[in-house]
Structure 1
Amino acid sequence: MRKVWLAQRIAQSRCIIAAVLSLAAAGALGVLLARGGHAPAGVTLGIIGLLVLALALTLTALLSMRRSQRAQMLLMEGANDGVFEWDPVSKRLKVGKRLLGILGYEDNFLADTHAWLNIVHPEDRARYNRSVAAHLKGLTDHFYCEYRVLASNGEYRWLAARGMALRNRRGVAVQMAGSVSDITERMVREQQIRDLALNDQLTGLPNRRSLMERLPAAIAAADRGSQQLAVLFIDLDRFKNVNDTRGHVFGDTLLVAMTERLPAALRAYDLLVRQGGDELIVVLPGLYGQAEAVTVARRLLEMIAQPVTVEGSEIQITASIGIALYPQDAQDADGLLRCADIAMYAAKSSGGNEVRLFESSMRERVSARVTMEGRLRRAIENGELLLHFQPQCHFADRRLVGAEALVRWQDGEQMIPPDQFIHLAEETGLIMPLGRWVIDSAVAQLAAWGKLGHHGLRMSINLSTRQFLRNAVDLEVLTAISRHGVGSASIELEVTESVLLNPEGTALRALHALREAGCRIALDDFGTGYSSLSYLQLLELDTLKIDKTFISSLGGAHNLRAGRNAAAIVTAMIVLGHRLGYEVVAEGVENVEQFNWLKAAGCEVCQGYYFSKPLPAASFEAAFLSGAPTAVVSNVA
């Protein structure tokens, strides 16, 4: 009997299950429940039926959610989003046609998790897996991840994936579905913005902001690895002269060409930064001693010194490099940069093209330089500068032609020579007020001598290359001439060859205006700077001054070959000057042999210690102006 009863119940249950499943699939289960739970005709609900009913309710909910998900996926598919369904258990993956179209793959290419992970960018794969795992574990309300995926054309595209897991009553994820958007254009724009913020726009190198983000991390890594780290501060020697004489476009082109070759001297994980202007920073992590840093620095010097062709001209520049080491020199990024900067200035003070390691004693020298700058500024403001005058005379009869005005700095009881502050003035911009003072004071002194009856003298005034950058030096000279009432023909302005190379024409225009006003123009230190013979035709000069480096080898028996070479060069300069219609001045004449040789060679004007060192105005007057206005110059010790 019991067997018969059990068989009947099983058969009845099968009918119930079939009926309930049929109703659930048809969406009519809600109608059944609304009628009070009555089963179809001929079906009686027992305990088993109730259990099956509960199962059917769960199934109905699942089917409803699936229908809702599919509806949403269809909407997203129509909104240009790709869609996906993924089974975390079987690892089966279904992707919509839109996503396949974004990536360019065939329908069956992305069939499972393995195939999908194979095209996720290796650098993003771990982050993607962590995001998926966190959501499957219920740690996040929804899944979201931005990552790169390899498209069929071999390029990576950025995707933003959103999804949500479908969970059973125990909370276990049994299905995950969602959408995928192509965000490549947005990510490219964001990367461009980051590049603008963190990269130098001229060279493409990381900039100072990037350096200050990455250097602390490199220091922390050095701590963890018990290693040293080096910071190299690179400053190009005399690069300002290139910008001043050739223009900033030329300088930028040179800088880009030079920086492009430097990575070849570095390891892949070293950091090369353009801090600004002509300053570069190199960070060398993972070092075991200072010798490694010095080796890299010297290799960089060699690469920088290789000639670069810019606008048809072959240019060679050098650099000064300072090295600071972590942890012995400083313990943070700012400190390392300061120490490397100090060491770089020490290298530059040695003449450039040099590498110097930081030493604690260097701080004192830098402090002294800063102090010197402040003192020079106050000296200009307080009238502590003065002029000395070196006589110029005719070779033929030794009669006085005039004098060259040379600035001196009387600092209390100490007389500071110009080689200790002129370069500092040019670097700091103090050459502008200093130059104005020299121009006005020299013209005023010439006017004072004229009032004493010494007319017809000539005053030579040096102009720095940097004075021409403000487009005002010609006005400063002409204003001084007008203020003090001297003849413009009595003023000779000495410039170096670098001024004539200014491509923007500011120097040439200023010099042309001065010469049109009647001033004389002299080319100073001829032969020591650029190969500027082609530039001589750009400006109608009055005077060519042969540099003392050529004069010093004349008439000396200690080196006959050098003497012969110097004689040939000086002879050629004198002939060239005369052929071009210039007066030729020899500066740095120190002995009678040189004087006699130059006189015989046809040089017109002599200047140097053979007659006199530069003298204060009162001493100059006593030595050269105390007699007749056309006094013959005598040798003055």
Structure 2
Amino acid sequence: MFRNHFIPGAPESQHFVQPGGSPGCALRQAYVQQAPAMATLFSNLDGMLFRCLIDEFWTLLSVSPGCYGLTGYRAEDLVGNRQNSLESLTHPEDRAAVRGTILAALDTGSRYSIEYRIVCRDGEEKWVLERGVGLRDEGGLRLLEAYLEDITDRVQAQIQLAETELRYRSIFESAVVGMFQSTESGRYLAANPALARLYGYPSPEALISSLADIASGLYVDPQRRDDFKELIQRDGRVTDFESEIICCDGSRIWIAEHAHAVRSSDGTFLYYEGTVEDITERHRHQSVLQHQATHDPLTGLPNRNLLADRLAQAVQLARRKSGKVALAFVDLDNFKVINDSLGHAAGDQLLIEISSRLRTALRGLDTVARYGGDEFVLILGEQVSPDDTKHLLERVLATVQAPLELAGHGLRINCSIGVSVFPDDAQDLDGLLRVADVAMYHAKESGKGQYCFYTRDLNQAAQDRFALETALGSAIENNELTVVYQPKVDGGGRVRGFEALVRWNSAGQGLVTPDRFIPLAEETGQILAIGEQVLYAACRAAASWPLVDGQALGVAVNLSARQLREPGLLALVSDALAVSGLPPECLELEITESMIMGDMEHTIRVLKSIKGLGVRIAVDDFGTGYSSLAYLQQLPIDTLKIDRSFVSGCNRGGKAMAIPHAIIFLGRSLDLHIVAEGVETEAEREILTVCGCNEFQGYLFSRPLQSAAVDAYLQAIIA
């Protein structure tokens, strides 16, 4: 640290004082003259530079002039004086800790730093920071060189801060309003008793430990947490931020939050801080007023004012999912006759009854509104296919037509329905209503008690669907379906297995793509027979394949959602393995993400039973569903397959590679095997390999092969 720094004969202010005749005098005479500039530097230091023996007293050999300002002792009072040694200066309560820290550092040959108290000449206690290092002088004697500086002001400031925090904690704990601090990721850092009581938790600690994620665990609408953060980012704070939340006992209340972001001196975000109040009663009153403005007073259904908003929401969702929305214009048949003959009171009662029936017939995501008189409008969201809409409309007709008793009379009411579809027929409410009204009148003219679409295209589609369903049934019976196999290769291009895929070349329909007949087979239940045929064919084929590089090749077979729900699935898989002689570890069953998120407990039981056979489980098209990632830790999954939509163009990097990279990282963190589908370029394969992908499928390696072509493909590899 500082060596050979004494200047014999120089004034005390220019060097470390070492009075003659004291212990260590012979050692001090060995030190050589120090440069004047260094002596001046040492004399101007506020703290105390020193050198001491490593003994029971920490006997001082030399000190800088700053010792007087720090301790009240002059250099000649300290150097060589065991009564005023460094040990005696150290506060008695701190001596053991100081000695232990220094000796531990000396044992490892490292520098040390320690804060402790000293007792000055006048009895004042000061906090000091000592930093130093051990060394040996020219004679081999072990010494300590260190610097002691006064940090009393800093420590006192810390004590004052702690006291201030204690006072703040008292206010925090005693406040009658809820108070909190939370992280950006959505965990509570602190909560006061008032907030715990508001949310129904027995203590703040229980609240903090129970709510691991504020977005999903507290807010009824998890999106509110993102809204909260966006507003603070934009405005610096939120005021009267209203949300519905779920209490500990499952009840719901409305709250208003007032919060801001707390940042460090350099602007770094630390946490959110704010208050919460219960506004349930206020919100309930506002809701009553809002309901009166947007709902029909007779039936309680949404009125025209709310209808446009509900349609806008359904359209927005349809655009996001590239889906469709159906609008049905419902008119009661012969309502005027009933109203005139039985009276307006009976007519009102009839409208109330029909309103209730329409609600019952629809799903929770649909809307039924009273348009006026005996006219109702239905908004049917998320219509994937025309058949979805038809099933709903048929249920509406059957529900409305059920017998009822009105004013002592038994009646059977019919209705006529006109249907328009967004975006096919119109883009807005007025346009959809106009064409639906035209279709409704066509339904009345055609005999009433039925529905009619604005165009005839859907009727033609229904006929085509029926023809396809009939042809598919014949294909299953006549074994027209074939199984093809697409290779799966590792990073070195070596084939490791195949995926079995079903194909249909119909005598009457021509080549029918899987995206046409598989969904139909799922809906009609024909997928069970198809799945069974594919499973047995794939197992037989895989059992006949030769070893490649001394390893047996595996085969992957897709399971359908219906198969997963079938009680005989385990027996079917076991029999297919037994009949074919295929080792269980060579079979991999693929399920899609959406199949998992139904009955989770049932899915776990089924997959674990299959896994018990030794069969591998893969999740296909991963990342395309809307499910939580939590199931990855619960299910016995071996493989994740990255959907081709994320693979295409991933070599461009940036956003194109973000999702594949995230899936690979997630999968490897969970020790899962990663397979990329739809690889078509060498650049895609290279970047996926670098990221850690294990296997690849796609046209870059091979198109799906007929069974005979697989044999030739493998023979070429072996040769």
TM-score, structure 2 length as denominator? 0.42
TM-score, structure 1 length as denominator? 0.47
> Which protein has the bigger helix share?
1
**Structure with the larger RCO, 1 or 2 (CA within 8 Å, 6+ apart):** 1
Q: Which has the larger radius of gyration?
A: 1
